[in-house]
Chain A
Amino acid sequence: MTDLQAEPTGSAGRRTSTGAGRVLIAVYGIFALAATARASVQLPTRYDEAPLAYLLSAVAGLIYIVATITLARDTRASRRVALIAIIIELIGVVTVGTLSVVFPEAFPRATVWSLYGIGYGFVPLVLPILGLAWLWHTRPDAPSPESVAS
Chain B
Amino acid sequence: MIDALAYAVVALAGVAVIWGIVTAIANKPPGKAQLLYAAGVEAVTLVQSIIAVAKIIGGFRPAELATTIGYLIGIVILIPIAWMWANVERNRFSGIVLSVAALAVLAMTLRLLMLWIPAG
Give the B-binding residues of A (Cβ under 8 A). Answer: 1, 4, 18-20, 22-23, 25-27, 29-30, 33-34, 37-38, 41, 45
Q: Closest CB of chain B to A125's CB: distance in Å?
A: 17
Question: A1-B88, A30-B104 are contacts. A20–B93 as well, Cβ < 8 Å?
Answer: yes
Tally chain B residues at the interface, Cβ within 8 Å: 19
Distance of A29 Cα from B104 Cα, bound (Å)? 11
> Can you name 17 extra interface pairs (CB under 8 A) apart from A4-B89, A26-B101, A37-B74?
A1-B88, A18-B89, A19-B89, A19-B91, A22-B86, A22-B97, A23-B96, A23-B97, A26-B82, A30-B100, A30-B104, A34-B74, A38-B67, A38-B70, A41-B66, A41-B67, A41-B70
The contact sample of 8 A-B pairs, CB cut-off 8 A, is A18-B89, A20-B93, A22-B85, A23-B100, A30-B101, A38-B70, A41-B67, A41-B70
Best-buried of A1, A19, A26, A41 by chain B (most CB within 10 Å): A26
Give the A-binding residues of B (Cβ under 8 A). Answer: 66-67, 70, 74, 78, 81-82, 85-86, 88-89, 91, 93-94, 96-97, 100-101, 104
A-B contact number at CB 8 A: 40
Nearest 7 A/B pairs, CB to CB: A41-B66, A26-B97, A23-B96, A37-B70, A26-B100, A22-B93, A30-B104
Q: Which residues of B contact A38 (CB under 8 A)?
A: 67, 70
